Amino acid sequence: MAYELTKEATVQDALDMGFSHAALVDISTLTAREEVREMCAVDKCQGYDRNWSCPPGCGTIPECEAQMHSYDWGILTQVTVDMEDEMDLEAWIDAARDLRDGQLQLNELLREKYDDILALGGAGCDLCAKCTYPDEPCRFPEKRMSGMEGYGLVVSEVCRANGLEYYYGSNTVTFSGMFLIREP
């Protein structure tokens, strides 16, 4: 399947790739919040201070916000899956994996057209078994994805501000990611 990666076609391209939902992102709707970053410091995902894509390796909140606002436009992608019940861990794992795999694929396609992309996923990067942080540079900076929360974003706010739901009904789970793009 050939993808036409223009700003206008990118949303449809993402849907054709298998994302459940996609929308263009208005950069002005992105607000990095310290209180979100503070939740990262609790380290429930065990990425805090261990990974270039997670805080503090991904930058301070002011640095993350400035970086996001240096881009021209973006695309928000989501994967929604049905669950058997609210405790369907397998559905959660499937949705997170499907988002990551789809974002890696879309990342490659976008990089064929655009030189400067910031990829933000549903979680921090897990490409390497052991991250080089903080001793050496990232091995794959062009593939690295920080989590949206790691950048201080309230994902539900970003979704709503850009025309997507965050909650698609009982017994569903949705994971969101985003690409920010700087025009050549």
Residue 74, SS3? Answer: strand
Give CA–CA dist 130/54, Å, rounded.
14
Q: Would you state the pLDDT for residue 3? A: 53
Own/partner contacts of 10-17, CB < 8 Å, gap of 24 or more, are 10/75, 10/110, 11/75, 13/106, 13/109, 14/75, 14/77, 14/102, 14/106, 17/102, 17/105, 17/106
What is the rounded average pLDDT for all residues in the chain?
Answer: 92
pTM for the whole thing? 0.91
Taking the domains of the chain in order of start, what are their residue ranges? 7-182
Yes or no: say if 175 and 43 are a contact pair by the CB < 8 Å rule. no
pLDDT tens column, 105-116: 999 999 988 989
User: Is residue 137 packed enough to be buried (19+ CB in 10 Å), middle (13-18) or exposed (0-12)?
Assistant: exposed
Q: What are 47-95's pLDDT values in tens digits?
A: 899 999 999 999 999 999 999 999 999 999 999 999 998 889 898 898 8
Element (H, E) at 35: helix 34-41
